[in-house]
Amino acid sequence: MTTYTARPIEPAVLKELRTTDDAGRPMNPFTDREGGAPLRCCLRRSAPGERIALVSYAPLRRWAARTGAALGAYDEQGPVFLHADECEGPDLRGHPFSNAHRTVRRYSREGHILGGRLVEEDFEAAFAEAFADPAVTLVHVRAVEYGCFLYEVRRDR
C-alpha cells in the first residue's frame, strides 16, 4: 500500500518567514492565549501560552521557483500560523488536522489546479485517488472553513 506524507513548511522557508513573510511584512509574534491555531511548522495545534505568529505564505510560488512552473493566476498567498521561534518539527505519522472536513486540492506540474475533493475521514483514499491521475504532481490539504493551506502532500518515493 502506498502512503502519503504530510509535508510541513521547510525549515529554510520557516527561517525566511520568521524574518519577512511572502507579502513583505515583518513577523509580528504574539502569545496565543487560547491555543488551537493550526501550526504549519510542526503540523499540530498550538497550546495556550505559546508564542506564535500569523504570516503570509505563498506555497505554490515557492514550489514554482524551484521547479520552473509558470503559475500565472494560480499564484496565491494566504495566512498561516507558525511558532515564532524554531520548534521541534512535526511527527510525520498520520494526517494532521484531520478532525474536520478538509479539501484535497490537486495541482499539475505547471502549478494549475486540476480539481479537488472534500474529505471527511479517509485521507489515504483521497490521496490515492488524486495521485492515480498521472497529471497530478502534488496536493494541498486546505481548511474548508477559510480555505487556508494546511500542508502539502507529494508521492512518497
- Spatial contact of 78 and 57, defined as CB atoms under 8 Å apart: yes
Scanning 11-152, the segments in alpha helix (DSSP H) are 11-17, 59-67, 123-131
Specify whether the CB–CB gap between 94 and 122 falls below 8 A.
no
pLDDT reading at 3 higher than 80: no
pLDDT above 90 for 43: yes
89 assigned to some structural domain: no
**Ramachandran quadrant class, 67 (left: phi over 0; alpha: psi -120 to 50; beta: rest):** alpha
> How far is 145 from 139, CA to CA, in rounded Å?
18
**Chain-wide mean pLDDT for the chain?**
91
- Identify whether residues 76 and 135 lie together within a single domain: no
**27 shares a domain with 78:** yes
Is residue 68 domain-shared with residue 31, that is, in the same domain? yes
96 in any annotated domain: no
Residues 6+ apart with CB under 8 A from 99: none
Number of domains comprising the chain: 2
Whether 79 and 110 map to the same domain: the answer is: no
Task: State residue 1's pLDDT score.
Answer: 61
State which residues form the domain around 141.
102-155
pTM for the predicted model, two decimal places: 0.90
Residues 50 and 113 placed together within one structural domain of the fold: no
Q: Is residue 157 scored above 60 in pLDDT?
A: no
pLDDT of residue 96: 87
Please say which residue of 83, 115, 138 terminates a domain.
83
